[in-house]
Amino acid sequence: MKTYRTAAALLAIACMLAAPLAATAKPARSQTERNRAVITAFAALFYGQRDVRGAFERYVSPDYIQHNANILDGREAAIAALEPMFRQEGSRFEIKRIVVDGDMAVIHLHGRAGAQGKGGTVADIYRLRRGKIVEHWDILQPIADKPLNPHAYF
């Protein structure tokens, strides 16, 4: 009986000591929160600074799957296809919104490769795994000269 009381007393003391630690411990970030941090950092480097190689080497898996019909799979193939476009004088990529849910992220932006034309609206869709972008789809729509809808695109 004495052993039971001693064990119960030790357990009670351990619980009292652990309570303040549990109250101050930060809860684990959700998958969505972790991926939002990754995709936001990727977007700043890729679209904002137009550092294609830096963004892809840091945030994209080497065996990245590409669903764009004009770009092959793999990180290096994407870098080779995208660097010339991002280097053109007058290129700009203005992020309108970033949406992240679990392992999926969408970046909606107004992109223009070069100084000519109005560019287009882009929805880049990414899938992430263990903090890296592993898959990409894109939806592209050119900006019309005279859209009928006053709030088209963005």
Q: What is the pLDDT of residues 69-87, one digit of tens each?
A: 999 999 999 999 999 999 9
Q: How much is the pLDDT for 141?
A: 96
Specify the CATH number for 27-142; select among 3.10.450.50, 2.40.10.10, 3.30.720.110, 3.60.110.10. Answer: 3.10.450.50
**Is residue 113's pLDDT more than 70?**
yes
Q: What is the pLDDT of residues 4-29, one digit of tens each?
A: 555 455 445 545 555 555 555 667 78
Please state the pTM of the whole predicted model: 0.80
User: Domain map of the chain by residue range?
Assistant: 27-142
**What's the Cα-to-Cα distance from 30 to each of 34, 64, 85, 99, 119, rounded to whole Å?**
6, 23, 35, 15, 36
Helix (H, G, I), strand (E, B) or coil at 108: strand
